[in-house]
Structure 1
C-alpha cells in the first residue's frame, strides 16, 4: 500500500497493490494527474480502477484527468453519482469553480460491492453522513474512511447533503462492529495528528465516538 498526500487540504491518496500482478486500486486521487501517473509508472504499477470515497471537488477533479490518462473506470456510490447527474448541479459546479463537472461514474456502487484488482478484492462500505454517498473501503485489516472518520474526529456534516444523525448511524452500524485492531486510514491528514490509527484507539479517544455513540 502507498499513501500520497497532496494539496492545501492534505488529501490522502491511497494505492492498494496486488503484489502478484502489479495491478492497483486508486482511492481518491489528488494532486496533479500527471504526477500520480509518473509515480505509478516508476513503480511498475498499473491501475485497474479509481474509486472516490465521496463526490466533493477535492476528489473528483483529479479523477477526471487521471481517467483520461489511463482510460480506466472510476467508481462512486450511486447516491453521489446521481447527485452529479442533475443538470442544475452540473451548471452550479461549472459556475462555482470554472471547471467542467465530473462525468457520471463508469460503475455506480452499492453497499457490499466487491472491487477487484489483480487477484485482490476490497469491500465497499456505504457510510453516508458527510455526503449521501460517502463510503469506506475495507481491504485486509485496513479501512480507508474518506471523510467519514478521521484521527480523533469525524467528517463535517454541515455541507449540502450532510446529516449528523446519518453520520452517527453509519459509524455505529458499519464501522464500530469491525475488529478493534482494524487500521484506520483517513481521507485527509490534519496537522498535529497521526497519519493513521486503529478502531480500538478511536473507540477510546475519539470524542465523536465516545460522546455521540458510546455514551449519547
Structure 2
C-alpha cells in the first residue's frame, strides 16, 4: 500500500496519491494544478505508473487540472455520473468500484456540493473532496449547488460508514489533515446534531 497527501499552501487544497506497491500502479485524487509538478515528481520517486485521475466534484479548477495531468501522463479522468461540465473518460455511479493493480476504490455518490459529487473509499480511508471537511463544510471557494441534498448525502451515506473510517478532505478547513467519521458525527459544526432545515439555512446565508 502506498499513500501520500499533498497540500498546496496558497489554496489549502489537498491532493492524494494512492498506489499498489506490488504492481507499481497509482491513482491521483483531486490533483491541484498548482501542485502538479510536485505530484508528478512524487509519482516518479515512488516508481508508479499513473492510471487514473479521480475527481470528487465538478468544479472548473478540477477539470482544468485533470485535463492537464491527463495530457502529461495518459491517465484516464474519472468523475461522478451526469458530470456535464467536465471532460472525462469515465463517469461512475454510486456503488461502482475502480481497480488499480490489486487495489480497489469504492465509489459513494454524494451529490449536493456539485450535482455529480462523489466520495471514494479505499481500505480504511475516505476521500471526501468538498463534500465533508474536517469540522466544517464547503466554503465560499466551492459554493454548494444543493444544500439539502448535500446534507442527505453526508448524513445517510457517509455518517453510516464505520466510525473509525479515516476522512481525508479536499480542502484544509482548520489546519488538520485527517479526521474520522466518529469525530465528524460528534463535532462537525455543520452536521453534528443539526437538522436539515438548519443546514439549508446555514448554507444559504
Calculate the TM-score normalised by the size of structure 1. Answer: 0.83
Match of 1:198 among 174, 180, 188: 180
Larger fraction in helix: 1
Cα distance in structure 1, aligned partners of 2:149 and 2:16: 26
Cα distance in structure 2, aligned partners of 1:64 and 1:158: 20
Partner of 1:209: 191
Q: Which aligned pairs between 1:44-193 and structure 2 lie closer than 5 A?
A: 44-80=47-83, 82=84, 84=85, 102=86, 104-156=87-139, 162-190=145-173, 192-193=174-175
Q: 1:40–1:46: 8 Å Cα contact kept in structure 2?
A: yes
Q: 1:28 to 1:11 in 2, by over 3 A?
A: same
CA-to-aligned-CA distance 1:162-203 (integer Å, 9 cap, x gap): 11110110011110110111100000113x431110011111
Q: 2:51–2:74: 8 Å Cα contact kept in structure 1?
A: no
Q: 1:151–1:193: 8 Å Cα contact kept in structure 2?
A: no
SS in 1 for 2:114: coil
Q: Which runs of 5+ in 2 are unaligned?
A: 199-205
Cα distance in structure 1, aligned partners of 2:161 and 2:93: 19
Cα distance in structure 1, aligned partners of 2:76 and 2:162: 31
Q: 1:169 to 1:156 in 2, by over 3 A?
A: farther
Q: Which runs of 5+ in 1 are unaligned?
A: 85-101
Calculate the TM-score normalised by the size of structure 2. Answer: 0.87
Please state how far the C-alpha of 1:157 moved relative to its aligned partner: 8.6
CA-to-aligned-CA distance 1:77-121 (integer Å, 9 cap, x gap): 1222x2x2xxxxxxxxxxxxxxxxx5x210011111111111100
SS in 2 for 1:212: coil
Q: 1:212 to 1:136 in 2, by over 3 A?
A: same
CA-to-aligned-CA distance 1:123-173 (integer Å, 9 cap, x gap): 011101110011100001111100000110122499676111101100111
Please state how far the C-alpha of 1:32 moved relative to its aligned partner: 4.4
Please state how far the C-alpha of 1:58 moved relative to its aligned partner: 2.9
Cα distance in structure 2, aligned partners of 1:184 and 1:215: 25
Cα distance in structure 1, aligned partners of 2:180 and 2:60: 27
SS in 2 for 1:172: helix
Q: 1:202 to 1:160 in 2, by over 3 A?
A: closer
Q: Which aligned pairs between 1:3-14 and structure 2 lie closer than 5 A?
A: 3-6=5-8, 8-14=10-16
Partner of 2:201: none
Partner of 1:24: 26
